[in-house]
Structure 1
Amino acid sequence: MSTIHIGSESEYVKITLGLPFSTEGWCEASVEIAVSCFHGRIEVWLDAFAIENFAIQLGAVYESLQGKASLLPLEGQFTLVLHAQTAGHIHVDGTAWSKATCGNKLEFELELDQSFLPKVLVQLQEAISKDFR
């Protein structure tokens, strides 16, 4: 089981991957979101391709401090986009649905510093090497 923690101790998105990805490339995950006055958790299915793409894009954002990194799973129940801003700031936009693109919807945002990214990149690489193979 791998965990990817994006943010601080008080405002964050925490993705906990369940069992290793199936041969079809899917994994059940728990996503915990804590922002401002909101705190909640949803259970989602994530595809390996989305996680791998996100890791590649986030690495490029960290290296250049430009562009964006998007976690856009096929089911669309949970999405996350990290945008590089001036002076090393990272703006995070996210959406979480109670069910795959139906039911209740939470749109949220976070402001981070680039110093959070190396830990996230390590967690993503550990998840990819441990849970995808």
Structure 2
Amino acid sequence: MADAAHTVTFGASADFLALEFKGVEYDEPEPYRWVRVQVLFRFGAFKGSFPASFLTGEVRDMHAAVRTLHSTLRGVVEFSTLEHQVQFTLEMATTGKLKFMGQLTDNAAAANRLKFETELDQTYLVPVLAALDRVVLDRL
């Protein structure tokens, strides 16, 4: 991952989804500003990467939802891009574990999809939130 300072990683080396924020793609007024993202993933034997574009409002909403989940340690974060290339849910269990599940689509017009589901420890929220803080401050 070329720019670790602007990469948000959900998970660890075995199973992860990483969103590498590259910068603004279309510099339009909010909420129509798009940001370039390289999506990297590994789940089981499946691994790969593909480019995507997120609306900056989607990233801000994800940031706010992760912040709330981190502070309350309860609830659900649901994220989906407008074009449904990246969709996921983070759900806090009473055991302190996060259920992380979702779907990746390599191209908004294609039917190639990867569904994933894994479990994370709540401590993964700390670096996710710190990375989202940097992305929102520097890249949006």
TM-score (norm 1): 0.92
Look up the match of 1:3: 7
Look up the match of 2:22: 18
CA-CA distance at 1:9 after TM superposition:
1.9
CA-CA distance at 1:72 after TM superposition:
1.4
Look up the match of 2:104: 96
Gaps of 5+ in 2: none
1:35 to 18, 37, 43: 43
Secondary structure (helix, strand or coil) at the match of 1:99 reads coil
Distance in structure 2 (CA, Å) of the matches to 1:72 and 1:131: 19
Is residue 2:112 matched to residue 1:108?
no
Look up the match of 1:60: 68
Aligned length: 132
Alignment of 1:72-91 (within 5 A): 72-91=80-99
CA-CA distance at 1:17 after TM superposition:
1.0
Secondary structure (helix, strand or coil) at the match of 2:125 reads helix
TM-score (norm 2): 0.88
- Report the more deviating stretch, 56-65 or 122-131: 56-65
Gaps of 5+ in 1: none
1:72 partner amino acid: S
Identical-pair percentage:
22
